[in-house]
Amino acid sequence: MPKAKSSLVQPGEARQTGAEAGTASAGTRTAAMVATPRSAAARRGAQAWIGALLLAWPLSAAPAEVDPFEGGGPSGKPVELGEVELEDWLDLPITSVSLTEERASQAPAAVFVLTGDDVRSFGFRTLAEVLRAVPGIFIVPDSAYLNVGVRGLSMPGDQVTRFLVMIDGRPVNNSVGIGQGYLERELPVAPQALERVEVIQGPIGGVYGPVAFMGAVNFVTKRSSGLEAEALVSGELGSRGVSGGELALTLTHRYQELEITAHLGGYRSRGTTYQLPELGLFSDRAVPPGALVRGADWMKAENAFLRLGLRGLSLSVGYSYRIRDLASAPYGAIVGDQKLYYANRSFLSSLGFEKRSELVSALVRVGFEMAEYQDNIGALEGNTERRYEDDSYDRWASGEARVTLTPVVGLRALLGANAQAHFTRQLYGYAGDAKSDVPLNFATASIYGLVEWRGLSDRLTLQAGANWYWSELASSRLTPRGAMVVRVTDSTTAKLFATGGFRTPTLFEGYYSDGISFVPNPGLKSDSSLSLEASIEQQLGRSSKIGLSFFDTSYDNLIMQQATVDELLDGSPGLSPADFTSSFGNLASFGVDGAQLYFDVRQPRVRLWGGVSVQAARDVSRLAGFANLTATLAISTNLPWKPLWLSLNGALISPRFKPNAAIVPGSSEEVPWGGTFGISARLTWPELPGFTVQVSLQNVLGSTLRHPLAIDYAPLTEFPEPELEGRLSLEWRSW
């Protein structure tokens, strides 16, 4: 049978020679993630205008009356409207950018903060729903896992391997790079247990090393100054009736010097309904009536988290388990197969001690994490159904030490080091056959440093730092960063910063070889990114702000998937894993220029935020999964009746190219404009203090928003958002 070459880069792409790309023979089809390049000279043309932004912004606005964080940040109690000054609410403290507490407006990075109150007001139930509300961020589902896009860039098939995920400042991403997502229900914490969410857009490898390639998110768990409890009971309703439910309990307590945060949650879903019209393009498989796949993404999930703190000593332990069926899956899986599943199990633990003084602060921390992944995929070989199974895990021990010196007022120097020992294993093969076994153990280490000076009455901040990273599986890497933050007036802040990021090849990309479809490539290089950004933020009065940033980011040696696939002609045998030959390579380098506008309004009875990110890719004419425009809007108010909060949130994404459209006859080359939309009503009963009833509708626009799928999902090239879903929640809070 003729083969169709499906590469993420067309043969003419600048980063790949003709010999590397291969030559498509007659009768083949080519799909590309990156197409013919534009002039390379244009790649550096956008950087000159960025610095001019600092001189172009009007500086007239009402000055802030008081610096709300002078002398330290607010208390550890969850921030509630009415309990703090409006400036505090508008400019919350964060710790993820410089590894110390600082106001968000002064942090040398593009950062956006959501509070636990924001999460409750809008009825967000997954971490992905929280992130989708952040300007510049968009979420991409493929029915297996959720991927994150930042400022237009999203890699179809990437499972959050280029976006750092942290819980209380501790990274949780594993090194296998398959069977992970973190954004749905795979983490030990849930939105109900969060005090705030810190989102950094742009590379930040100069602080955290690998994975922080496109950005990072820090999920900060709740703290309390007393005994506080929160319980949640929630139900979901879809086209098939009651479709799911959730139970969650969160407890925070402070007794003298002992701090306790505990969370326990469980979720069950019968699945939703998807319409996949591309299934009807082929006659080699049974197609459900109307191409409707019902209940094929059922899910079970549990999570638990415990944090203890006492006199600088902290202990964190977390566990999560998630198993779900899929409405679609790679390798020609039988769509709608109720026996198909992906399962994840994770465990994290951390023990740390921190000692602070005016001159010297020190942190020592050790930890052990575990991430396990299993799948069971049914595929047809002719008329015979066979089950393919994967079983992979990464178990790693880590240690970190950090010292911070403050020799004089305004000067801070930080030096730290960490090391990890990974023990990984991948088992795969057909059920009933002997499994292929790929064990791989390796170590990593990094040294990082940062120097910061604040002067001119705290109006000028200069920061420089670097991270040196070493791995037994990849070449060592030095990633610098530099920043300048200027408080032009009491209400105007300007930032200019250059940051880098990189990502070492995952084990799946470099070493996975199933003997059927995947070909390993242990010679992969790390992909890297470098970003130059200028921004200005204007505070408008005491309760609102607006910001504008321009960014110029270069991506080099990007690791992408390339695959050879049987042509899908009527009468051909069913698509099976043996019909694919897939591998990864350093296939592309390109740049992204763009601008982002955001606003944030925090009134006692109105909360409003949103933004627009506009960007263009250079050196390429077509980049799969890339969005030239993304926009978000969120508004919540209790006008005119205080006990009732009404909320609305939405997101918009421009068309995106598909990487595998050329493989599948009759499919379009791109997904069209699309959006998501949700509404919520939250009522706190005056006669029942602490009790809240919330009714919300998610995905009001249904499946109008569709997303490009990775190459090996053929015959499917796109996947829709879930159908309209209703939620009814009863919540009790002790405070």
Residue 285 lies in a domain: no
* 499 φψ region: left (φ > 0), alpha (ψ -120 to 50), beta (else): beta
- Cβ–Cβ < 8 Å for 139, 128: yes
pLDDT: is 143 or 52 the higher one? 143
Task: Tell me how far apart the alpha carbons of residues 559 and 528 are, in angstroms, rounded to a whole number.
Answer: 10
Inform me whether the pLDDT recorded for 314 exceeds 80.
yes
List the beta bridge partners of residue 453: 411, 462
For residue 181, give the nearest of 307, 368, 324 by alpha carbon: 324
- Number of domains present in the structure of the chain: 1
Q: Averaged over 44-59, what is the pLDDT?
A: 37
Which three-class secondary structure state does DSSP give residue 321?
strand
Which three-class secondary structure state does DSSP give residue 692?
strand
Residue 284 lies in a domain: no
pLDDT band per the 50, 70, 90 thresholds, residue 39: very low
Q: Which of 122-136, 430-444, 455-469 has the lowest mean pLDDT?
A: 430-444
pLDDT by residue (tens digit) across 462-476?
999 999 999 998 888
Residue 194 lies in a domain: yes
Encoding tokens for residue 695?
A: 């009714």
pLDDT band per the 50, 70, 90 thresholds, residue 81: very low
Encoding tokens for residue 510?
A: 């470099």
Residue 281 lies in a domain: no
Q: According to the model, what pLDDT value does residue 307 have?
A: 96
- Cβ–Cβ < 8 Å for 242, 269: no
Task: Tell me how far apart the alpha carbons of residues 467 and 462 are, in angstroms, rounded to a whole number.
Answer: 18
Residue 282 lies in a domain: no
Q: Averaged over 582-592, what is the pLDDT?
A: 88
Inform me whether the pLDDT recorded for 366 exceeds 80.
yes
Give me the residue label for tokens 């307590």.
253
Q: According to the model, what pLDDT value does residue 660 have?
A: 66
Task: Tell me how far apart the alpha carbons of residues 710 and 29 are, in angstroms, rounded to a whole number.
Answer: 16
Residue 695 lies in a domain: yes
pTM for the complete prediction? 0.86
* Highest mean pLDDT out of 332-341, 381-390, 706-715: 706-715
- Cβ–Cβ < 8 Å for 489, 452: no
Phi first, then psi, for residue 654 (nearest 5°) are -75, 170
Quote the mean pLDDT of the chain: 81
For residue 674, give the nearest of 690, 650, 709 by alpha carbon: 650
Q: Averaged over 499-505, what is the pLDDT?
A: 91
Residue 54 lies in a domain: yes
Which three-class secondary structure state does DSSP give residue 279?
helix
Q: How far apart are the first and last CA of the chain?
A: 68
- Cβ–Cβ < 8 Å for 140, 147: yes
- Cβ–Cβ < 8 Å for 377, 340: yes
Q: How many CA atoms lie within 13 A of 559 on its CB side?
A: 27
Question: Containing domain of residue 141, as a range?
Answer: 3-273+294-733
Inform me whether the pLDDT recorded for 201 exceeds 90.
yes
pLDDT by residue (tens digit) across 162-182?
999 999 999 998 888 776 778
* Integer angstrom CA distances of residue 93 from 137, 234, 303, 366, 493: 21, 31, 27, 26, 16
pLDDT by residue (tens digit) across 372-428?
998 887 776 666 777 888 888 999 999 999 999 999 999 999 999 999 999 999 888
Q: According to the model, what pLDDT value does residue 138 have?
A: 94
CB count within 10 Å of CB 23 equals 9
By CB neighbour count within 10 A (0-12 exposed, 13-18 middle, 19+ buried), where does 704 fall?
A: middle
User: Helices then strands (H, E): number in the chain?
Assistant: 6, 38
Share of the chain above pLDDT 90, in %: 47
Residue 501 lies in a domain: yes
Q: How far is CA 434 from the centre of its chain?
A: 36
Residue type, 322: R
Q: According to the model, what pLDDT value does residue 377 have?
A: 79
pLDDT by residue (tens digit) across 294-307?
777 789 999 999 99
Encoding tokens for residue 357?
A: 């003084």
Inform me whether the pLDDT recorded for 239 exceeds 90.
no
Q: Which of 192-196, 545-549, 590-594, 620-624 has the lowest mean pLDDT?
A: 620-624
Q: How far is CA 592 from the centre of its chain?
A: 19
Which three-class secondary structure state does DSSP give residue 406?
coil
* 68 φψ region: left (φ > 0), alpha (ψ -120 to 50), beta (else): alpha
Which three-class secondary structure state does DSSP give residue 484?
strand
* Integer angstrom CA distances of residue 102 from 98, 206, 294, 425, 596: 8, 18, 48, 41, 23
Task: Tell me how far apart the alpha carbons of residues 524 and 9 are, in angstroms, rounded to a whole number.
Answer: 16
Share of the chain above pLDDT 70, in %: 79
- Cβ–Cβ < 8 Å for 428, 577: no
Give me the residue label for tokens 């291969």.
22
Exposure string for 221-234, b = 16+ CB within 10 A, e = fewer: bbbbeeebbbbbeb
H or E, element range at 510: helix 507-511
Inform me whether the pLDDT recorded for 498 exceeds 90.
yes
Instruction: Give me the CATH number covering residue 385.
Output: 2.40.170.20
Task: Tell me how far apart the alpha carbons of residues 474 and 461 are, in angstroms, rounded to a whole number.
Answer: 35
